[in-house]
Structures are given as C-alpha cells and as structure tokens.
Amino acid sequence: MAARLQELAPSSAARGWVRSWSDDDGTARARAVLAAAFGEDAPRDGDESTGEDPDEVHVWAAPGRVNLIGEHTDYNAGLCLPIALPHRTYVALRPRPDSVVRLASAQAPGETWTTTLEDVAPGAVSGWGSYVAGVAWALREHLVAQGADPGAITGFDAAVDSSVPFGAGLSSSAALECAVAVALDDVAGLGLASTDAGRAALAAASIRAENEIAGAPTGGMDQSASLRAHAGHALLLDCRPGLDPVDSAEQVPFDLDAAGLALLVVDTRAEHQLVDGQYAARRATCEDAARTLGLDSLRELADDVAASDDPAGALAVALEKLPDDVARRRVRHVVTEIGRVRDLVALLRDGRPDAVGPLMNASHASLRDDYEVSSVELDVAVDAARVAGALGARMTGGGFGGSAIALVRADQVEAVADAVRGAFEREGIGAPGFLLATPSAPAERVA
C-alpha cells in the first residue's frame, strides 16, 4: 500500500509532494546536464578490455536517508537506525586521462565548478564541488594507505541531478558523495562496492570528504546509510570506531507495507545548515563531557547505564560530575537516545512496528529540550501529525530546521499531511513539503 501511495502522492505536486524518480528518468536527467555543460569536448580513453563504448556515459545513483531514531549519536560512538530513501542523487560521470575535475549540476544551472586533483586538500577548495572532489581526494588517500597506486583515480567530468530535497536534513550531501564514490570505484576498477566491507571503506572516504574537505563535522550515519542500507530494512549502525564492518552494521527488517503503515516525511523548508557552528558546538560539548568522565566516548557511559541495576541512578551519578547544566542535558540526550534505539530495534525484531510511536515521541522531546536542536517549524509539524492520528512523530536529521517524520496508518497519509499543512498555514509558516520514505536500495550503478 505504501508503494502505491508513493506513486499517487506526486500527482498532488501543488500540495507539496516531492516524488522520487525512476532510474531511467534520473539517468536521462543527469546525462542531459552533462551534455549541456561539457558536450563532447572532454578528452577520454576507451576501455578495450571491457569492450565498453568510450562515448557511452554511465550513471550512478545514491539515496538520501531518514533516521528512524538515534539522533546525534553517531559522533558519540553510539547507535542509530536510518533507512535509505527512494529519492536519489544521480551522477553521470566520464573519466578523463588527466587530473582535471569539471562538475555541473541541475541545481546550479549555467555554472561549472573546476579544479585539479592536485589542488584538492583540506582548506583548499570550497563550494558544492568540494563534496565531490573531496571523495576523489579521500579515495586517493585510501589507496596510498593500502600501498596501492593513487593514480587509479583520475580526473573526470561529472553532472548531477537529484530528487533528494536540498537543505531538508535528508542527507543530500551524503547522497552526492556516495554516488560519486561508487562511480569512481567503478571506473577505477577498485571493486569496493561489491562487498559490504568495501562499501564501509567507501563510506569512510565519503565521511572524510565531508569532514576534511567540505568542512562539515558530521558523523558517519548518513554515508553508511546511503551505501549500506538494504531495501525493506533499517540499518542498525554501531558507530564505535575500529569495529569490523561485519560487526558495525545489521539489517533489521522494516516492512511498512506488511504492517499497513507509512512513514511520512515533512520537509519544513526551514533553512537547514550544519556548518554554522551549532552542530560543531554540540559535538565539542559531548567530547569534552566524555573527557571529563574519563571516557573515550559517551557510548561507554550509555553501555554502563544500560548494564546497571539502576539505570536512572547510574546516569544521575554521571551527570553530577559534569560542570554545567548544558553539558548535563546534552549527555542525557545522547545516553537516553542510544537506549531508545535499542528499544525500537527490539520492537521491530518482535514484529511490532506499530508500537514504536512512544519512542519516537520521547526522542523528539529529548532533542527539543535537552539537545536543543528543534525549531518552531519542526515542533509544529510533529504536534500536528500526532493530533491528526500519527502513531509517533519526531524531527529527523541534525535539526536546526530540516525535516520531521511521522509513522502513520497507510490510509491516513493524506489526512495527516493535510493537518500539518493546515497547522503551518495557521502559524503563518511557509508551506511544507511531503514525501514517503520506503526503505530502499543503496548506492549503485544504474546505467
């Protein structure tokens, strides 16, 4: 039923529905951008070993994500539970025999972004192209660390188009990075995308691109979801550093159709930025708190609390050791949120997805009150969805704007969306956007 709703929802584009594209549509769009920007003026080499036509432009795609629960836990070595969206970023990419990187995007019509691989380094490039060139830089660094030839990653022309809403907290940047990662992996013949361990390496490269080249201090959830999530499943991601990839991710069945449920995403269309200092400040507070407690990460505290005979008491004792109320609230969110991830996964494994609503509601309250990353728009969306019958609702993503999610009965999607739309109008807030999040496939070559 949810799949059918995904097809029907876009028919009401004027009412704010954002549709996903078929791979054929996304492929045609990306190729059209490449042709318009660069035409036939790029030097390139054929590949006689594969018999592929050197003039054929291949296309790769990677999904955005929503996080069911586990917010601001990834950079605290915690647990999170994202799913891949059906909405994808498409990248048409043509390798070059030199080191030049030229980029174009349907989201920046008439503009091109150009650099060389030698000029890409932390602090050296800026703009949206840094997310793309950063992946090439990180993969070259990966090859050096493996004792391989970094020259396997050459320059390229690439063009981008995307159905992942930009600035909505749905990981449009990670979708871009991961589409480029699988593209470069493919054209260089690295073979990383063929195994989960290799995909974990591609995720690590994409994370380095965002952290070190684009300058956004995000955790690793977004890239891992885009590269490692499976259709019909949520990805239980354990973000402790040093874990073997096999141990860091687990597929948890999340069949919305079978349960008669739908996951409604509300794009508040409020500005969402993670590079303005707010995200970094919270990350620094958590890292300082862990050091104060003599821990490598707050995950250690969360595990100790979970194992205690008196979890609430154990958490209270730890919080008293922190220097101020802000640190105590931030830590309380992280520890309780990791616990909520465990509880929600247990319900899914028990075949009770319709029982997870209270955990979603508690997560939003914690993000709003303790972590202070919600917004007026997010709170209005969550409250309106609940009043209209949602089983649970919460903000998703980093916050400071962006999107909320609501778990609803499949036959109530339009009613809940109408209620949220009406609440925004009454509050004098700009109209929201809507999409349906069905657990979808990871990054891959699509043409």
Matching residue, tokens 């432009």: 57
R_g over Cα of the chain? 22
Q: Which amino acid is at 256?
A: L
Query: What does the DSSP 8-state code read for residue 13?
Result: G
Contact 265, 437 (CB under 8 A): yes
What is the CB neighbour count within 10 angstroms for residue 403?
A: 30
Bridge partners (DSSP) listed for residue 104: 112, 159
Q: Are the beta carbons of 87 and 96 closer than 8 angstroms?
A: no
Nearest Cα to Cα of residue 112 among 135, 89, 132, 134: 132
- Helix-helix angle 129-145:196-208, to 10 degrees: 120
* DSSP class per residue in 330-370: HHHHHHHHHHHHHHHHHHHHTT-GGG-HHHHHHHHHHHHHT
Looking at this protein, which amino acid is placed at residue 252?
A: V
Q: Are 82 and 226 in contact (CB under 8 A)?
A: no
The position carrying tokens 């959830």 is 221
Cα–Cα nearest to 121, from 213, 28, 219: 213
Quick check: helix, strand or coil at residue 7? helix
Contacts of residue 344, defined as CB under 8 A and 6 or more positions apart, other chains included, come to 68, 69, 81, 356, 359, 360
115 neighbors 137 (Cβ within 8 angstroms): no
* Residue of 157, 161, 222, 370 marked catalytic: 222
Active site residue 149: no
CA distance 338 to 317: 18
Could you give the residue numbers annotated as active site? 222
